[in-house]
């Protein structure tokens, strides 16, 4: 098969991440679309790509484009992904798949009906030691699971002067912190543990009641004094889950925890052993054992599960991180387009599962009641 032609829709931080991963995976970036043709033209020049598209219709009309990467604010995901799928294009759509469960369900059904490859970047699955943890659990090394717990903590919105489109429910959706980063934790833990959440009891809190009316780029602080406006989306969230197998799980999520840049952490405790993973120290998997013993498994191509070795593209001691995960995810998506079946590739079905969990977490936070996830 000749090289895939791709288009990047959205030119923020994550659009650049998609572009880099596409090139490394051997695709040709045919063009870019942005919030305006002028912005698209600027980025096309900076990225050295041949076309600046007017809009999503212009993108899908290009016969040289086989794959559309949707990297826009959340409220645009459903319409853009739908347009691309209906035009016969494969799609990589940023999460959340849509801002409502109903829209996510429609998109997943459309993707299934077309037979096209449609994926969502739950890329933390691609840390090699995460694959190692999953393999050990699947092989029974932990024994029956007894407890799942963890957190996902960031600090980029701890200053009231910081703002972003994600704070606005019209653009980001009804949930901010849980839908934005708690969804990553839930996808990862369900996939690693092999257990699915069946019930949830959740609580949200907005601890910064007002923010600067000046928006800024993701993970940056606004510098323009444009007054303050009220905030309705949550800054922190806590959730208790029960899995279908009866295991309890707890999660704390925050975007206002000082010093925590991107700390996705989980521990899964079994009857025979435990495993723990910290995304900010992603070269190592902690393994807890009986009789006051513990081990550290270090990422590398020479040991561990086959998937851990496959994704260890650098020798041990040469750190890999988030960028490598994203590169591997995009490469696996392109492999699927070429009729391969890479393990663990997150699809629109996984995006739908995430949307369901977020929907039920929001419902529980509103009612303060245990809520079924079905």
Residue 342's contacts (CB-CB under 8 Å, 6 or more residues apart) are 332, 335, 336
Would you say residue 337 lies in a domain? no
Instruction: Give me the pLDDT at residue 226, please.
Output: 58
Last residue of a domain, one of 79, 102, 119: 119
* Spatial separation of the C-alpha atoms in residues 233 and 172, rounded to whole Å: 9
Could you identify the residue written with the tokens 């999460």? Answer: 95
**How do 197-205 and 28-33 pair as beta strands?**
unpaired
pLDDT digits (tens, 9 = 90+) for 169-204: 888 888 999 999 999 999 999 999 999 999 999 999
pLDDT digits (tens, 9 = 90+) for 131-153: 999 999 999 999 999 999 999 99
Is residue 220 predicted with pLDDT exceeding 50?
no
Q: How far apart are CA 98 and CA 79, in angstroms?
A: 9
Q: What is the average pLDDT score of the chain? A: 94
327 domain residue, yes or no: no
Asked whether residue 52 is domain-assigned, the answer is yes
Same domain membership, residue 76 and residue 53: yes
Tell me whether residue 30 is in a domain: yes
Structural domain of 271: 127-316+347-372
Does residue 12 fall inside a structural domain?
Answer: yes
Both 179 and 77 in one domain: the answer is no
What percentage of the chain carries pLDDT values higher than 90?
Answer: 88
SS3 state at 146: strand
DSSP string over 188-224: HHHHHH---EEEEEEEEE----EEESS---TT----S
pLDDT at 219 over 60: no
> CA of 239: how far to CAs of 80, 192, 209, 361, in Å?
31, 19, 22, 8
Tell whether the model's pLDDT for residue 227 goes beyond 80. no
Shared-domain flag, residues 144 and 111: no
Residues 107 and 222 in one domain: no
Q: State whether 10 and 78 are in the same domain.
A: yes
- What confidence tens digit (pLDDT) does each residue in 69-90 have? 999 999 999 999 999 999 999 9
CA separation for the pair 231, 209 (Å, rounded): 5
Same domain flag for 113 and 137: no
190 and 296 fall within a common domain: yes
Domain total in the chain: 2
Instruction: State the CATH number of the domain containing residue 94.
Output: 3.40.50.720
Model confidence pLDDT, tens digit, residues 285-313:
999 999 999 999 999 999 999 999 999 99
Residue among 73, 72, 48, 49 nearest 62 (CA): 49
Q: Over range 220-241, report the average pLDDT.
A: 76
Residue 341 domain-assigned (yes or no): no
Clarify whether residues 69 and 200 are in a common domain.
no
Instruction: State how far the Cα of 63 lies from the Cα of 292, in Å rounded to an integer.
Output: 62
- Which of 62, 89, 119 is the endpoint of a domain? 119
Angle of the 183-193 helix axis to the 128-138 helix axis, nearest 10: 40
Same domain flag for 10 and 144: no
Confidence grade of residue 224 (pLDDT, cut at 50, 70, 90): very low
Of 162, 25, 67, 31, which is closest to residue 11 (Cα–Cα)? 31
Handedness of CA 216, 221, 227, 232 (dihedral sign): positive
The residue among 119, 141, 169 that closes a domain is 119
Distance CA 302, CA 320 (A): 15
Helix H or strand E encompassing 68: strand 67-70
Whether pLDDT at 372 is above 80 = yes
């Amino acid at each position: 098969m000749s090289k895939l032609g791709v288009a990047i829709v959205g030119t923020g931080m994550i659009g650049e991440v998609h572009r880099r991963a596409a090139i490394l995976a051997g695709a040709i970036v045919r063009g870019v679309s942005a919030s305006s043709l002028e912005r698209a033209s600027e980025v096309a020049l900076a990225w050295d790509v041949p076309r600046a598209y007017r809009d999503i219709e212009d993108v899908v009309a290009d016969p040289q484009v086989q794959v559309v990467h949707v990297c826009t604010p959340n409220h645009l995901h459903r319409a853009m992904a739908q347009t691309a799928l209906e035009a016969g294009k494969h799609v990589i759509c940023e999460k959340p798949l849509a801002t409502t469960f109903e829209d996510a369900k429609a998109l997943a059904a459309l993707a299934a009906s077309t037979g096209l490859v449609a994926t969502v970047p739950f890329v933390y699955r691609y840390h090699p030691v995460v694959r190692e943890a999953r393999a050990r659990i699947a092989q029974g090394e932990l024994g029956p699971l007894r407890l799942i717990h963890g957190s996902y903590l960031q600090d980029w919105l701890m200053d009231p002067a910081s703002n972003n489109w994600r704070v606005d429910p019209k653009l980001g959706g009804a949930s901010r912190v849980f839908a934005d980063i708690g969804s990553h934790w839930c996808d990862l833990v369900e996939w690693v543990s092999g257990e699915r959440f069946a019930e949830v009891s959740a609580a949200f809190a907005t601890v910064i009641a007002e923010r600067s009316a000046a928006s800024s780029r993701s993970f940056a602080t606004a510098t323009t004094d444009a007054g303050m406006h009220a905030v309705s989306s949550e800054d922190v969230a806590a959730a208790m889950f029960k899995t279908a197998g009866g295991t309890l799980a707890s999660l704390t999520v925050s975007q206002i925890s000082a010093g925590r840049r991107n700390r996705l952490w989980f521990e899964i405790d079994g009857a025979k052993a435990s495993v723990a993973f910290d995304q900010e120290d992603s070269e190592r998997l902690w393994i807890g054992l009986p009789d006051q013993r513990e081990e550290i498994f270090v990422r590398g191509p020479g040991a561990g599960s086959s998937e851990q070795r496959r994704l260890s593209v650098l020798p041990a001691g040469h750190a890999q991180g988030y960028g490598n995960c994203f590169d591997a995810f995009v490469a696996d998506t392109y492999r699927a387009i070429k009729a391969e079946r890479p393990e663990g590739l997150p699809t629109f079905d996984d995006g739908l599962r995430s949307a369901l969990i977020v929907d039920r977490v929001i419902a529980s936070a509103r009612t303060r009641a245990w809520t079924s996830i079905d």
